[in-house]
Amino acid sequence: MNKKLMAVLLTGLMTSQVQAAEWQALPETAPAPADNPTTAAKVELGKMLYMDPRLSSTGTVSCNSCHNVMEGGDDSRAVSMGVHGQTGGRSAPTVWNSAFHSVQFWDGRANSLEDQAKGPITNPIEMGMKNHDQAMTVVKDIPGYKAYFEKAFGKNSMNIENAAKAIAAFERTLITPNSAYDRFVKGDKKALSKQQQDGMNKFAELGCVGCHSGAAFNGPSNEIGVGFYAKFPTFADNDYVAKYKLTDDKGRGGVTNNAAENNMFRVPTLRNISDTAPYFHNGSVKTLEEAVRVMAKTQLNQDLSQQDVKNIVAFLEALTGDYPEISMPRLPASKGSSVVAD
């Protein structure tokens, strides 16, 4: 962890003047694993697969259905809708800046974007394919895809591993730098208003940076495969817990079957947070103002004044960066046949 940020966490020495050197700007490129370097051909194929609803059993649900890159990278729903109108139990996290997460999914059950990309395809509620072989049979039966796979990976490369690598490569381009906050920490003292600077100070003073630190505000480290989790709620003796059903989901404990990890969740990014309502793993909170109040009480046992809430929200709004322009791809046509089984 950055030594100056560690000093803030340990001693709370944030003064009334925001010190930009203690904060990190978002990188403009995302790290890629050694076995999947980012190339233009992979990104092109990955965007097509990401947008293609034919990877679902009904031909109606794509990755973009729940993680809409034409908007905030989510679906603006409390819980997402998959095939046959089924809904799951969790809110879709934004895909923007997901490359900076150390693990994927709310419960960290995937160590990488490549692992994550394969999960929804065979989830019976999400995309509903029986298995990955069925999904790749559909892709192979669409004549135009072969050339894109060969361009990205070479001959005989149409398999689920390469499909996932392509989707992950596309997702690593989904970065939103140059927010007002980023410009501020790079030296533009006018990039943040006084209210936003006050909110930034309060954010640090309260201890929010204990979890929401680093360039993506999702933890002190983004080492791939090493999850950074927090118990939510930490303080359960308040009305918010029952009102928003915050303890119903076991989180990480549901994956590991370790009771000590119940209600532990991967810390989400706060980047573009004002564009990704509703909030929390179950999408139970509709507004950012309420989310700030809930977090202060359940994680820090603090009751905030209305002015503090407004200031922190103003700061969080300054974390919205520049969205790169995304054009919809022309998908290869399914010629003369349907991809949906009778």
Q: Active-site residue numbers?
A: 126
Q: Is the CB of residue 9 less than 8 Å from the CB of residue 291?
A: no
In the Cβ-directed half-sphere of 286, how many Cα atoms lie within 13 Å?
1
Check whether the bond before 278 is cis (ω within 30° of 0).
Answer: yes
Residue with tokens 């630190």: 213
Phi/psi zone of residue 14: left (φ > 0), alpha (ψ -120 to 50 degrees), beta? Answer: beta
What phi, psi does 198 have (nearest 5°)?
-60, -40
Cα dihedral angle (115, 118, 120, 122), rounded to 10 degrees?
Answer: -130
Residue 280 β-bridge partners: none
Q: Which helix (H) or strand (E) holds 231?
A: strand 229-231
In whole angstroms, give the CA distance from residue 66 to residue 297: 30
